[in-house]
Amino acid sequence: MNSAILSALLVSVKVATVATLVGLLPATWLGYVLARSQFRGKSVISSLCSLPLVVPPTAVGYLLLRLFAFDGPLGRNRLGFDLTVLMTWRAAVVATCVMSFPLIVKTTRVAFETSDARLSQIAQTLGHSPLRAFLRFTLPMARRGIAAAAALGFTRAVGEFGATITVAGNIAGETTTLAAAIWSAQEVGASSEATVLICLSVAIGLMSTLLVEHLVVANRATSPGLRTIPSDNQRTTASSPDRGAEGGPWISS
């Protein structure tokens, strides 16, 4: 593996990891809101979140380019200082985050929709705050779905090309990702290098999809039932006779 291929791999992993970490929290929150809340304009927000999936990536890249341009809303002329985003690895992070965001939102939304909302509601009637009920019951039930969303988002970020090359360019060692390196290799006729890069991309995608499949199967195999939820004034222990199988749900006494 030559230095150019290794550099492209490291840049892709760095960009995809940062983009996934940046987008996971807001995407999870939005997925939860769309899954558990009913409000006017919900379908509009859901549709807007899906736009990067159907709009050409180069169009998304152009919009980001105008956003961070000198005279753009987040440009030097408006802010009074330069964010130094365009044509850097940070621009690649922004582009890949935007392109993978809808996939994370949709996957986390499904995770929350398939988890039992009654546990959180019952927990709140027993004195738990909405935040504590979410952290203690809702989030653990959806954890595999959230992990699958992160894996899918990471894979989508690794494979992003159109939006990334528009705002970040193809600078060796800085913004040249696996996708950009494959394009460059094809342009100059370096078929052997392109083959290696494609194999790396396929390997990353295969590992991620296998992980997602494992999480989906594990989630189906451990579907929880209703359980009694201790109030703040009740103390329970792991050795309680009301405890089911190890790791299982609490059941009513």
Nearest C-alpha neighbor of 180 from the set 7, 3, 1, 51:
7
In what helix (H) or strand (E) does residue 205 lie, and over which residues does it extend? helix 191-221
What gap in Å lies between CA 220 and CA 204, rounded to an integer? Answer: 25
Count the helix, strand and coil residues of the chain and give each as a percent rounded to the nearest 5: 70, 0, 30
Q: What are the residue ranges spanned by the domains of the chain? A: 3-221
Beta carbons of 171 and 126 less than 8 angstroms apart: no
Place of tokens 């494609």: 198
Paired residues of 243 in beta bridges: 250
What gap in Å lies between CA 57 and CA 101, rounded to an integer? Answer: 13
What gap in Å lies between CA 4 and CA 17, rounded to an integer? Answer: 20
Residues in the chain: 253
188: amino acid identity, one letter: V
Q: How many CB atoms are closer than 10 A to CB 154?
A: 24
217: amino acid identity, one letter: V
Q: How far apart are the first and last CA of the chain?
A: 62
Protein fold of 3-221: MetI-like fold (1.10.3720)
What gap in Å lies between CA 116 and CA 247, rounded to an integer? Answer: 17
Residue-level pLDDT, tens digit, the chain, 253 residues: 688 889 999 999 999 999 999 999 999 999 999 988 888 888 999 999 999 999 999 999 999 999 998 888 888 888 888 888 899 999 999 999 999 999 999 999 988 888 777 777 777 777 777 777 777 777 888 888 899 999 999 999 999 999 999 999 998 888 999 999 999 998 888 888 999 999 999 999 899 889 888 887 776 666 554 444 454 554 444 444 444 444 444 433 3
What gap in Å lies between CA 16 and CA 31, rounded to an integer? Answer: 20
Q: Residue 199: its pLDDT value, please?
A: 93
Crossing angle of helices 143-159 and 89-113, in 10° steps, is: 150
Cα 117 versus chain centre, distance: 22
